[in-house]
Amino acid sequence: MDEKCIDSKIMTGERLLVISSEILTVLKSELSSRGLKPTPSNLRVVMEIIDKSLPDSLSEFFVE
């Protein structure tokens, strides 16, 4: 593997972690604003619902 490819994968991983952190903050805020405690259990339920709503192939999300 060349260095560029490795750097690209690391950068993508870092970006995904940042995005995940931001989404988690929004989820916590939304649960709180609706009177629900943002407990790990409640967050897992929300994330499970989101996961089940995703198509099997993510290509459906990409529009050319």
Tell me the average confidence (pLDDT) per consecutive run of 10 residues in the chain, 64 residues long. Answer: 56 86 97 98 96 77 55
The pLDDT of residue 59 is 63
- Could you tell me if 46 and 31 are in contact, meaning their C-beta atoms sit under 8 angstroms apart? yes
The pLDDT of residue 39 is 97
| pTM greater than the 0.85 cutoff | no
The pLDDT of residue 56 is 76
- Could you tell me if 40 and 25 are in contact, meaning their C-beta atoms sit under 8 angstroms apart? no
Q: Integer distance in angstroms from the first to the last C-alpha of the chain?
A: 29
